[in-house]
Every structure is written in structure tokens, then in C-alpha cells.
């Protein structure tokens, strides 16, 4: 018996949809650059941003809230962040539940915080992508190839990011050169 695929590729209307990205590093940067192509309304919560994201924020490409992200614990009203047990105590402490989102991306370098963001998204029924734990995600963020007529999304099994990267590059070249029209 052949193993069945477990994730169906699906395209959603992006216009006016709110995406909340927690994190401002290289992974967040790659995902934000992709999301920008589709007209999402993007909010980024992070203590820092890459140079590229700083420039995009200054241009107004997305709303940037500088600060630490806190996630409500399900069994209490106490707010915590990651494993340090810090309590929110200042204007730069941002509670995730105060920001509406149609999609949620956990892109921090804090494993515990990413896990908490994933749990939060699942509890609230918000599709969530946890950058460092595919099994905690309710959707996988695809490699994208597009032109004015076509949009392709590509994901792999999780075993080899290099394979997906190479296949996506080949697809991008095909649609860029429009070799399928020849």
C-alpha cells in the first residue's frame, strides 16, 4: 500500500487578511518578503529587525511593534514569555492575544516561545506556522514561484530543505522564461 500524502496544497484569498509575524530575523524576513507579494496586512512583533525589515518597515510595508511578545497561558491569566518566566512590565511588552490575525507565524529564536505561539494559534483556531517545528504547525509555509499568470507553492516532506530550494529555483526559472509556452 502506498503512503498517502497528508497535506493538501490550498490557496487562500489574501487581500485584507491579517498576518501576525512574531520575530524579526532572517526566517521572518524571507516569509515577510513572500507575504508582501500577496497583499496581506502584516504586523511584526519583535525586539529587533534585520536591516532589510528595518527598511521595509520605514517604507510602511508592514506595521512594526518593537517589543517582547507574551502569550497567555491557557490555565491562568498570568502572562509569560519563553522559559525566563519574565512578567510583562513595560510599554514594549506586547500580548499576542491583543492583535487580530488570520494567519500566525512564529519565527523567533526562542523554542519555548515558538511552541507557545503555536499552541495559542491552535487554541484560537488561527492557522499557525512554527518556523522551527513543523509538527507544531497547522500549515506549512511554501516556497513560491510566480509570474503575472501563475502562482506555484511547493513544500517537501521536511527531510531536505535543499531539495525544495532546488526544485523551487527550477520552477521559478521555468515560469520566468515562460518555457511552458514554447
pLDDT digits (tens, 9 = 90+) for 118-146: 999 999 999 999 999 999 999 998 989 88
Report the largest interatomic distance among the alpha carbons of the chain, rounded to a whole angstrom: 62
Cβ neighbours of residue 165 closer than 8 Å, sequence gap 6 or more: 143
pLDDT (tens digit, 9 = 90+) per residue, 62-119? 999 999 888 875 444 444 444 445 555 555 778 777 788 999 999 999 999 999 999 9
In this prediction, residue 9 has a pLDDT band, given cuts at 50, 70 and 90, of confident
Domain boundaries, given as residue ranges, for the chain: 18-141, 144-181
Nearest to 60 by CA among 37, 38, 36: 36
Mean pLDDT, the chain, whole residue set: 86
What is the CATH class of 18-141? alpha beta
Report percent pLDDT > 70 for the chain: 87
Task: Give the pLDDT of residue 94.
Answer: 81
d(CA 6, CA 17): 26
Amino acid at each position: 500500500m502506498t503512503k498517502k500524502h497528508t497535506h493538501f496544497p490550498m490557496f487562500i484569498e489574501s487581500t485584507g487578511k491579517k498576518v501576525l509575524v512574531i520575530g524579526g530575523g532572517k526566517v521572518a524576513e524571507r516569509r515577510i518578503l513572500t507575504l508582501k507579494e500577496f497583499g496581506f496586512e502584516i504586523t511584526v512583533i519583535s525586539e529587533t529587525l534585520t536591516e532589510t525589515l528595518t527598511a521595509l518597515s520605514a517604507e510602511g510595508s508592514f506595521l512594526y511593534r518593537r517589543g517582547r511578545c507574551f502569550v497567555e497561558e491557557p490555565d491562568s491569566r498570568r502572562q509569560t514569555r519563553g522559559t525566563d518566566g519574565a512578567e510583562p512590565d513595560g510599554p514594549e511588552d506586547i500580548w499576542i492575544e491583543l492583535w487580530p490575525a488570520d494567519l500566525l507565524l512564529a519565527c523567533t529564536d526562542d523554542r519555548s516561545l515558538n511552541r507557545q505561539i503555536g499552541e495559542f494559534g491552535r487554541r484560537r483556531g488561527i492557522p499557525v506556522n512554527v518556523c522551527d517545528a513543523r509538527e507544531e504547525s497547522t500549515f506549512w509555509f511554501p516556497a513560491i514561484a510566480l509570474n503575472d499568470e501563475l502562482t506555484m507553492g511547493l513544500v517537501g516532506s521536511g527531510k531536505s530543505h535543499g531539495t525544495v530550494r532546488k526544485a523551487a529555483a527550477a520552477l521559478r526559472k521555468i515560469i520566468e522564461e515562460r518555457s511552458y509556452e514554447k
